[in-house]
């Protein structure tokens, strides 16, 4: 499905990104494999993960090139796209997958915890997408595939930085979809359920949490890759501005915020009338505080 395409995948040295790169190569794409090679919390630098993914693609007869830049650095993000174009002649799809975790309960989260996660996830997605946009506009085609999370779409404990970044990516993707539709460029999000080294860093708080993490081990990273390959292909030409989730063999389409209730007063509202009239009317429609495990309560299938 990707014969003749060039796909850049960030964070492709391990986990979900690696599986995406491997499948895109098997589907015929030339793959730019980007990975800074840091730890799960963003420390350090190691070129081996990206190099190993490239070696595996080439050993299977595919075409790939490694890039070791940080997506949080605008110049580094630019090098990802320029390396792909220089090596393979074009760029057709960008997969914004790179990420780190610095989980802290809200009252203990530092400015550095916040900044590091926002820089890699949200600013990184912006930087790489911005670098690819001129090429997409000139050729009148292209696909952005951004990774969001149910931690943002639904909620989770101790992840204010990660949740904010991942919801920011949803807004970024939708804006790109609107602005770039006339140029034939599409932009979509995927929320993955998969066991990865980032998930492995989350300590279970109780037995229920331990069991939930054990269930996640059955959700292998390779299950995410087929939807990415589809969204990178011409078969998805009419798909843009959407939010998907993948959970083992299940694929979900998420709704987006839209008004669900309204109330009007011809003479305007006061704080008192909001308390006495609007609150009783709206309260039955308030959504509860939930995490993804509350919404997805059944075992992965």
Instruction: Evaluate whether 42 touches 102 at the Cβ level (below 8 Å).
Output: yes
Report the distance separating Cα 3 and Cα 87, nearest Å: 16
Catalytic residue among 126, 147, 162, 244: 162
Report the distance separating Cα 286 and Cα 279, nearest Å: 10
Instruction: Evaluate whether 283 touches 228 at the Cβ level (below 8 Å).
Output: no
Instruction: Evaluate whether 66 touches 47 at the Cβ level (below 8 Å).
Output: yes
Instruction: Evaluate whether 40 touches 203 at the Cβ level (below 8 Å).
Output: no
Backbone angles phi, psi at 72, to 5 degrees: -70, -15
* 3-state SS, residue 240: coil
135 has catalytic annotation: no
Instruction: Evaluate whether 1 touches 204 at the Cβ level (below 8 Å).
Output: no
Q: Where are the alpha helices (DSSP H) in the chain?
A: 15-26, 48-59, 74-88, 111-118, 124-139, 150-153, 160-180, 197-200, 207-216, 225-232, 271-273, 279-282, 292-295
* 3-state SS, residue 298: coil
Report the distance separating Cα 206 and Cα 86, nearest Å: 51
Residues acting as catalytic residues? 162
């Amino acid at each position: 499905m990707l014969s003749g395409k060039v796909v850049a995948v960030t964070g492709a040295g391990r986990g979900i990104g690696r599986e995406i790169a491997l499948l895109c190569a098997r589907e015929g794409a030339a793959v730019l494999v980007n990975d800074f090679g840091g730890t799960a919390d963003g420390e350090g630098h190691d070129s081996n993960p990206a190099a190993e993914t490239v070696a595996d693609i080439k050993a299977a007869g595919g075409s790939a090139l490694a890039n070791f830049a940080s997506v949080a650095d605008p110049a580094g993000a630019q090098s990802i796209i320029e390396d792909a174009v220089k090596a393979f002649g074009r760029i057709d799809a960008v997969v914004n997958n790179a990420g780190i975790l610095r989980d802290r309960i809200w009252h203990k989260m530092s400015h550095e915890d916040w900044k590091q996660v926002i820089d890699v996830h949200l600013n990184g997605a912006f930087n790489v997408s911005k670098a690819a946009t001129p090429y997409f506009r000139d050729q009148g085609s292209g696909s952005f595939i951004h990774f969001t999370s149910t931690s943002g779409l639904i909620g989770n404990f101790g992840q204010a930085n990660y949740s904010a970044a991942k919801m920011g990516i949803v807004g970024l993707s939708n804006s790109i979809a609107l602005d770039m539709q006339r140029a034939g460029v599409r932009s979509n999000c995927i929320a993955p359920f998969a066991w990865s080294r980032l998930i492995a860093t989350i300590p279970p708080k109780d037995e229920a949490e331990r069991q939930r993490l054990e269930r996640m081990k059955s959700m292998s990273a390779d299950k995410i890759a087929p939807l990415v390959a589809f969204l990178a292909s011409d078969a998805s030409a009419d798909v843009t501005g959407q939010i998907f989730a993948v959970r083992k063999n299940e694929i979900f389409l998420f709704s987006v915020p839209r008004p669900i209730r309204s109330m009007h007063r011809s003479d305007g509202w006061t704080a008192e009338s909001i308390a006495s009239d609007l609150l009783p009317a709206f309260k039955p429609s308030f959504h509860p505080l939930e995490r993804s495990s509350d919404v997805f309560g059944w075992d992965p299938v």
